[in-house]
Structure 1
Amino acid sequence: MTGAKQGLDDAYEQRRPALDRAVGQLKSLLVTVLGQIEDRRLVRAEFDDVRPKALASLKRKAIRQGWTPEQALTQCPDLVGGRVVCNNVEDVYRFEALLRENLPVESGQAERQDYIAKPTNQGYRALHLNFRLDAGESLNREMIPCEVQIRSRLQDAWAEISHADLYKQAGLPPDLLARAKDLSRLLATAEEIAGEIRARVQDVTEPPEHQPRLDRVTAEGLSFIFKDVFGRAPPAYALSLAEEACSELGVTALTKLPRMLKRAEFRGKLGEAYRAILSVPIDSETLMLAGLHTLARGDTAGLAFVRERAKQEFAEIENIARREMQAELPSTVDELIDGIDDPRGEADVASLADALDVVVTCAACGAPILDPYSFAEAAATHYGLAGEPELDAVERLQAAIMNSGVDTGDIDNSGLCSHCAAQLAKDD
């Protein structure tokens, strides 16, 4: 290894604590922005796992750019990166605006690359925002370059397909690469159609100027209450959901609903129950439906509805994030094992385990623990192995995990990390 490479290895390790702090800050920032989206059933956005740039990737970029180790760690624009996936292009720009509004003052003006308005020659479409977050400790400022890629679902699908099937392959003919660009244009057309559908769904239902009768259930009454309580006209789809809920729950009058929804204590309890599962504020549409459940069956039913809705949304976000992480796994089990066995230790075993959904936490301190057998079994399933190849891969994977340096817990104290198990043994 050259002196420059070794220098970058050492500099990266020294900077790693600040990178980890920046990762936490960026995650918190993106969660805050997600919480400000008014209607998460229409303006749908999830963020992929935020992470620092891998050392191997940073080395390649430093060589291409001719950077010194210090330059690599200060000039690489995506030293910490995150990806946000939205339902459609309109939501991409909405998310961008909210992200800009929430950037810390010291981050300055975010730099913007709009590859949606002007795609790359290969057909890549997304919006990139680059800025810096202060990850210094105490009064010492340490600005870390961050990049957030914001894409629509179709743009993300194109990027994943192209990355896996085309740009990882060498020597492909130009006409095949041109077909990828054709696919990008085709998906952009589909995006426009989806936008038109979204616009129709997003139509609002303007309530009457004067309060209608509330001793019965009507669309006019529901829309009037929604605007009176939340300050805006309800989307047409939300009104339909409220009408369906009234029918299913047997609600025949709306007289008590406005006062209930305006009670700070009532909304506070529902919001707290929602945030306990999904760490974003509860939205107005969920509050309206929870009010109807409470009206029909009491406070317990309203809280149960909110918890179930939050669980569904959390599960959806988790599933999407995990599918995206699994798409980043190596192409074959042999490549996976080679990466874990690499003596340079550049494989992020924790992220690999997270993608395979096999990470557990210590019952005492909450630190992540990785069971080698669970990891090996999940990997074998992911790669569709069976018979002798499966047995061989499971054995090799277990050995690789055991030698990787990750905490595999304590044999005699199931559920505890090695540190807590050692402390327990010392106390005994």
Structure 2
Amino acid sequence: MVMIKWNEMLMPYEQAVEELKIKFKSIRKEYRKIDEYSPIEFVTGRVKKISSIIDKAAKRNISLDMVQEEIEDIAGIRIMCQFTEDIYRVIELIRNRDKKDLFIVEERNYLGKIKESGYRSYHIIIRYPVHTVFGERRVLAEIQIRTLAMNFWATIEHSLNYKFEYQIPQTIKDRLKNAAEAAYNLDKEMSEIREEIVDAQEVFQAKSNVIEKIAKNIQKLSILGNKDCVDLQNKFLILQKEGNYNKLKDFNNKLELRLDKRNNYYKP
């Protein structure tokens, strides 16, 4: 068996996780910037610990010099969604990137085919190209997509599996199944009122964005030497307290018009 240089071996996986996190966080940010609802709530990622890789290889009877080809989740990211419907939107986002900046190897649907434990999630195994000092490496990585409720349940189950070394007592298994069903019902209930929740969140995000724009535009006018910036700031604070989105938007439009006039005035 070849001697494993763990630090060197894991570096491409660490790079893959960081790059994938940035890509999907950027998608979320883009939706927020254009005042649209994002199917991605948040993203996490990790590279398996050496001890976990060795344990998994032993359980599956995999030689250590074959772990990079046989173990698919050395690099892994999780994409959390608010609603079950959002999971399928994220799946489509990933499929649309296939053969562009990632390569889909396999999809595993644990939403339609729930595990006996009650586990629900959607897994996509990909090969992800990483550019290193030694050239391009296409490493295997796993993307897990699940709701916040599914993630809470899965995190608890993982902790219990670790504690009991995957031999969870039957009484706790039964309670976990009940909890999985409760999480499923919670997701179902939230889907029933999804439209109202999304509308409320979009209004909040739009108001937050326009407030940020106003603050920056007043600062720009101040830098340009406008003498009424204190009055503008005071009016802004009054409008923010009122919380009327249309009034805030109208105020920002007037600020941007003033900025355009100033910029045009100073053009050569």
Query: Do they superpose with TM above 0.5?
Result: yes
Q: How many residues align?
A: 223
Render the CA deviation track for 1:205-241: whole Å, top value 9, x for unaligned: xxxxxxxxxxxxxxxxxxxxxxxxxxxxxx5875799
- 1:14: Cα distance to partner? 2.3
Instruction: Give the aligned partner of residue 188 of structure 2.
Output: 192
Q: In the alignment, does 2:19 pair up with 1:25?
A: yes
Aligned residue number for residue 386 of structure 1? none
Distance in 2, Cα, partners of 1:44 & 1:26: 13
Shift of 1:292: 4.4
Instruction: Decide which of 170, 173, 179 is 1:174's aligned counterpart.
Output: 170
CA contact (8 A) 1:22 1:80 kept: yes
C-alpha distance in 1 between matches for 2:205 and 2:126 = 40
Instruction: Report what 1:56 is aligned to.
Output: 51
Instruction: Specify whether residues 184 and 15 from structure 1 end up closer, same or farther in structure 2 by C-alpha distance, changes over 3 A only.
Output: same
Give the Cα separation in 1 of the matches to 2:39 and 2:101: 29
TM-superposed deviation, 1:41: 4.8
Q: Residues 294 and 201 (structure 1 numbering): CA distance in 2 closer, same or farther, change over 3 Å?
A: closer
Q: CA deviation at 1:54?
A: 1.2
Name the structure 2 match of 1:299.
Answer: 255
CA distance in 2 between partners of 1:145 and 1:193 (Å) = 36
Q: Could you tell me the TM-score, scaled by structure 1's length?
A: 0.45
Per the alignment, residue 259 of structure 2 pairs with none
Matched letter for residue 101 of structure 1: N
Residue pair 1:33, 1:99 contacting (<8 A) in 2 also: no
Map of 2:156 onto structure 1 = 161
The C-alpha deviation readout for 1:310-364, integer Å capped at 9, x for no partner, is xxxxxxxxxxxxxxxxxxxxxxxxxxxxxxxxxxxxxxxxxxxxxxxxxxxxxxx
Q: In the alignment, what sits opposite 1:367?
A: none
The structural deviation recorded for 1:198 is 0.4
TM-superposed deviation, 1:53: 1.6
What is the CA distance between 1:173 and its match in structure 2? 2.9
1:237 to 1:20, Cα distance in 2 relative to 1, 3 A: closer
Query: For residues 19 and 71 of structure 1, what CA distance do their matches in structure 2 show?
Result: 15
Q: Which has the higher strand share?
A: 2
Check conservation: 2:125, 2:143, Cα contact below 8 A: yes
User: In the alignment, is residue 111 of structure 1 matched against residue 106 of structure 2?
Assistant: yes
Tell me the residue number matched to 1:322: none
Matched residue SS, 1:109: strand
**Uncovered stretches (5+) of structure 1, i.e. residues with no partner:** 203-234, 250-265, 274-288, 301-428
Q: Aligned partners of 2:115 and 2:23: how far apart in 1? A: 28
- Post-superposition Cα deviations, 1:142-179, rounded to whole Å, max 9, x if no partner, equal 11111111110110111122233465235543132122
Distance 1:291 1:137, change over 3 A: farther
Equivalent-residue separation in structure 2 for 1:186 and 1:296 (angstroms)? 46
Q: Distance in 2 between matches of 1:239 and 1:60?
A: 48
Name the SS for the 2:125 alignment partner: strand
Match of 2:74 in 1: 79
2:102 is the alignment partner of 1:146: no
Unmatched 5+ residue regions in structure 2?
221-243, 257-268
Counterpart of 1:13, as a letter, is N
**TM-score normalised according to structure 2 size:** 0.69
Query: Aligned runs of 1:339-350 on 2, under 5 Å?
Result: none
* Cα pair 2:14 2:47 within 8 Å, conserved: yes
If asked which structure has higher relative contact order (CA below 8 Å, sep 6+), I would say 2
Please tell me whether the aligned partners of residues 25 and 42 of structure 2 are also in contact (alpha carbons under 8 angstroms).
no
Partner-residue secondary structure (3-state), 1:194: helix
Cα 1:162–1:137, aligned 2, differ >3 Å: closer, same or farther? closer
